[in-house]
A and B are shown apart, each in its own frame.
Chain A
Amino acid sequence: MSDPLLSVEGLRTHFHTDEGTVKAVDGVSFEVSRGETVCLVGESGSGKTVACESITKLVPSPPGEIVDGRVTFDGDDLTDRPPSGLTGVRGGRIAHVFQNPQGALDPVYSIGAQIVEAIQLHDDASDGAARERAIGLLERVGIPEAGSRFDEYPHEFSGGMKQRVVIAMALAGEPDLLIADEPTTALDVTTQAGILDLLNDIKAERDMAILFVTHDLGVVAEIADRVVVFYAGKVMERGGVHAVFETPAHPYTQALFRCLPGRGERETIGGSFPDPTDPLDGCRFHPRCPHAIEVCTEGDQPPLEPVDADHTASCVFHGEGYDAAAIREGAASAARSTAARTDRTGSARTGDRSDAAGSAGRTDGGRSATEDDR
C-alpha cells in the first residue's frame, strides 16, 4: 500500500438543495492500489456513488459541490483541476461503467460508432484502425459476431449485452482504473455473474484496478480484494475482504451481515437512515447500534481505529481505553450468518483468495450462491 494508484482523503461532497445542504459524502478516505479490486459497500444513499463521481468531478455542479478533500491519482493531484482539465484522465486513465446500461448508450448512434468515439477521444487512431480495435474490444467483452453487430443500435441489444458494450467503451481508453458503479444491479442474476466474471478476467489480463460500488455483499465476496463500508456519507470500516467478512468489526457491518438472506435467522437493522441534511453528532450509526454508549452520541464520527493488520473500523470500542470484546460477540454472530452462506459457497471465504487467479477460479461457486439467494 505504499504507493496507491488512487488515494482519496477526507472527501466531502455536498449538494445544495431547497431542503438544505445534503452532505452526501462527508469526509471519506480510501485507497486503491494497482491491479486491485476495492468494493464500496453500503445502503442506498450512503454516498458510494457520489464518492465515485467526485473522483473525476462528474458530480453535477450546481447543485453538487466538492467542498473538501484530496484526490490523488498515480501521483497527480486531481483536486484543484477544473472539470475541463480532467478530460484526459476521464476515459483515458479512469473509466466509468454505470449502473444502468440502458441509459449509458446514446440511442442515436450505433454501438460501434460510440466505441470508435471513445477510442478516438484518447487516441489519434484513423477511422479504420479504430474500427478494428472496437471490434476487438467487442469480441473481448463477449459480444458474439462483433463484426456484424458493430453497426446495430443500442435498442437492438439486451441489457446484459449493453453492459458489455459499455464495458468495451470503458476499456477503449485502456484505463488504469475502472470505476464500476453497481454495474450488475440492473441485470438479472445469470447475466450478473457473467459480467462479474468478465470484469475479473479483464482485471487480471490488464492489471487494471477496479473500484466497484455495490450494495450486494454476495457480489463483494465474488470480486473484492478490499472492502470499504459506507454509511451515511462516512466510512465505517475498511479492510481486506477476508478480515471484514470473517471478523466484521463495526456494529454496522455486523448488522449488514446479519440481514443477509442466509440459512441462519435473519435480522433487519432497526430504526431508519439518518437525515443527510442534518447529520447526527457522534457516530452516524449510534441510534441504530445495539452497543451504543454515551460517548457514541458526542463529537464527530470516531476515527478509523485499527482492528488488526490492514483492517480499521470507525468505532469507539476499537479505540484506546475501550474493550473491543463488547462487540466481538456481534462479530461472531455476524460471522455465523456469513458462514451460513459460505457453507453453500464452498471454500469461497476460507480459501486463500488474495491472488487474481484464485478469484477467477472461485467465481463459479460464488455465483451459484448468489443465485440461490435470490
Chain B
Amino acid sequence: MATETDSPADLRSDAIDWSEVDDGRLAASRRTQAFVAALCVLVALFVYDTVTGYDLWIGAWYTSSRIDWLYLVSLVVFAFYVVVPLARNRERTVQYWRRFRTNRLAVLCLLYLVVFFGLGTASLLVLGRPEINIQYSYQPPLFFTIEAGTIAQNCAGQVTGPPIEQYCHGSLRFPLGTNLSGQSMLGLALAGMGVALVVALVTSMIMVPIATVVGVTAGYSGGWVDDALMRYVDIQQTVPAFLIYILLSLVYGASLFLIVLTFGLLSWGGVARLVRSEVKKRREELYITAAESAGASRLRIVRKHILPNVSNTVVTATTRQIPFLILAEAAIAFIGKIGDENVPSWGEAIALGFDVSRFPKTWWLVAVPAVFLVVTVFSFSVVGDALRDTLDPRGEA
C-alpha cells in the first residue's frame, strides 16, 4: 500500500473492499470491473460450450457435469478476492508472512497446499485420468517388489530371482505403482487432487458468501433478526449434510456437483456463527461509533468497516472447515454406491484398493490415495490453525 500510492484509486483499496456500492451510487473499482469482465468471459465460454457442444479444454474433464465451470468461477473469485488483495497490500502481506513463518510445520503444509493447488488445477484442466495399460497391472511402487507372473503379469521394471520365484521390481515408469487396469497410481493420486481441490474451492465459494451475509446481518442487526437467523443455523446444524446428500442422490443421482452443492449449502453454519460473534464484538468498537458520528450510513459502515475487519475470521473459519468437506467427499466416494463413479476421488481409489484376494500384497492401491488424503487434510488443518494465529487480532501481542 505504502509503496504504490501515486495513483489515488489505491487509497480505497486497503484490505478487502467488497463492492463499491457507495450510498446508493454505483462506483465500480478497477478490480470489480476486471472481476466482472473475467466472469463474462467464462459465461461466454460456457454458452459456446453448451451451444456448440465442442470441448474447449485441452484435456478432457471427467464428467459432463457443470462442476468444471463452477470450479473456474471459484478460481476467478479466489484470484480476485484473495490473491489480488494480498498482492496489492504488500506491506500487510509481508507482516502476515512474518508471523506465519514462525510456525515451521505450517510453512511446510502451506508449501504442500501450493503444490496441491497447482497439480490439482493441472489435473483438472490438462492431465485428466491416467491412461489404461492392461498389460502392466499391479506394478509395485519404486523400491518395492512383488511376485512376478502371479499378480503382476508383466513387469515394467527389473525382474530378479530364480525362475519360479521371480520378483518384479518397481520402475521409474510407474513410480507409485499401478492398479488392476494398469493406471499409474501417481496419475490417480493427481486426479484425486483435482477432485479434492474442486471440493475445497467450490464449496468454499458457496459457503463464504452465505456465511458472511448471514453472520454480518445477524451480528449487526441484533434483535429478532439475529435470533431468527441463529435459530435457523441451529436447526441446520442438527441436520447432517451427509444424510441430506444421500437422500438427494437417490432422487437426482449421485454426482460431485450434488456433493459440492449440498455440503456448500449446509456447512456454513459454524462459519456464520463465528462471523456473527466477531461482528458483534466489532460493532462495539469505537471506530464504528466514530464512523457513525462522521455521518457514514449503515450500509457503508458494514461494507467499509465491518467486513474488512471480519474477513480474517471468514478466511480462517473456512480454511478450518475444508478438511471436513474433503473427508466427507472421500467417505461418500468410498461407500461407492452413492458416489459419482465418473469422478476419480481418493475415496473411490481406496475402496477399489481393498480387493480381498490381493489386498495385503497390493498395499499401495490403498496406501497411495490414503497418504495423499491424510496429508491434504492434515495440511489444511495445520494451515487453518496457523492462519488463525496469524490473522486473529486477539493473538497480537
Instruction: List A residues at the B interface (Cβ < 8 Å).
Output: 56, 58, 62, 83-84, 86-92, 95-96, 98, 100, 102-110, 112-113, 116-118, 121-122, 126-128, 131, 150-152, 166, 169-170, 172-173
Contacts and interface: CB of A to CB of B under 8 A. Distances in A.
Given A106-B309, A151-B5, A117 B295 contact: no
A104 B287 contact: yes
Contacts of B2: 110, 151-152
Contact of B1 (A84, A88, A110, A131): A110
A87 B297 contact: yes
A98 B288 CA distance: 12
Contacts of A151: 1-2, 5
Interface string B333-355: 00000000000000000000000
A98 B393 contact: no
B295 A87 contact: yes
A368 to B, nearest CB: 31
B291 interface: yes
A58 B15 contact: no
B363 to A, nearest CB: 51
A128 B295 contact: no
Contacts of A83: 292
Contacts of B304: 117
A163 to B, nearest CB: 12
Point out which of A62, A108, A110, A118 has the most chain B C-beta atoms below 10 A from its C-beta. A108
B292 A107 contact: no
B12 interface: yes
B293 A90 contact: yes
B14 A109 contact: yes
Interface of B: 1-2, 5, 8-9, 11-12, 14-15, 222-223, 285-287, 289-298, 300, 304-305, 308-309, 393
B294 A166 contact: no
B294 A121 contact: yes
A310 B148 CA distance: 111
A92 B295 contact: yes
A255 B294 CA distance: 37
B8 A95 contact: no
Nearest to A170: B294
Contacts of B222: 62
Nearest to B292: A58
A113 B14 contact: yes
Nearest to A103: B286
A84 to B, nearest CB: 7
Contacts of B309: 106-108
Task: State the main secondary structure of chain B at its contact with A.
Answer: helix
Point out which of A58, A86, A91 has the most chain B C-beta atoms below 10 A from its C-beta. A91
A106 B292 contact: no
A106 B211 CA distance: 23
B14 A110 contact: yes
A113 B304 CA distance: 11
Contacts of A118: 294
Contact of B293 (A56, A103, A116): A56
25 contacts: A58-B293, A83-B292, A84-B297, A88-B295, A90-B293, A91-B293, A92-B295, A95-B293, A96-B293, A100-B286, A104-B290, A105-B290, A106-B308, A107-B287, A107-B393, A113-B11, A116-B12, A117-B294, A117-B296, A121-B300, A127-B9, A127-B12, A151-B1, A151-B2, A170-B294
Given A106-B309, A108-B15, A128 B8 contact: yes
Contacts of B286: 98, 100, 102-104
A103 B285 contact: yes
Contact of A122 (B12, B14, B293, B295): B295
Contact of A90 (B12, B287, B295): B295
Contacts of B5: 150-151
B46 to A, nearest CB: 36
A98 B5 CA distance: 29
Contact of A95 (B291, B294, B296): B294
